[in-house]
Amino acid sequence: MEGMSLPPTKADIRPMGLTILDAYNVVVKDFAVIQPSFWAHLAAQSENVYYHNMYVNATNENPEIVSTSEMM
């Protein structure tokens, strides 16, 4: 199985609200992500990225789903 990969699932191809890649001296201000489909944002291979007043809310509203942190 080594070296083999599975086809992408829906979780693998969900869009991300904000991606910063190979960037320098970035300022993100007054940005909100409500109920992101999977991840809210990503800063990769970047330097000096500053977030000011960023809000992310991914609250579980389904009582049938319990997170692992709630089980501990």
- 68 confidence band (pLDDT: 50, 70, 90): low
Q: Which of 68, 66, 36 shows the shortest CA–CA distance to 54?
A: 36
Which pLDDT tens digit goes with each residue over 21-40? 999 999 999 999 988 877 88
* The predicted structure's pLDDT at residue 21: 93
Higher pLDDT, 11 or 43: 43
Q: What is the pTM of this model?
A: 0.62
**What residues have CB less than 8 Å from 24, skipping those under 6 apart?**
46, 47, 48
- Joined tokens for residue 48: 């000096």
pLDDT higher than 70, residue 3: no
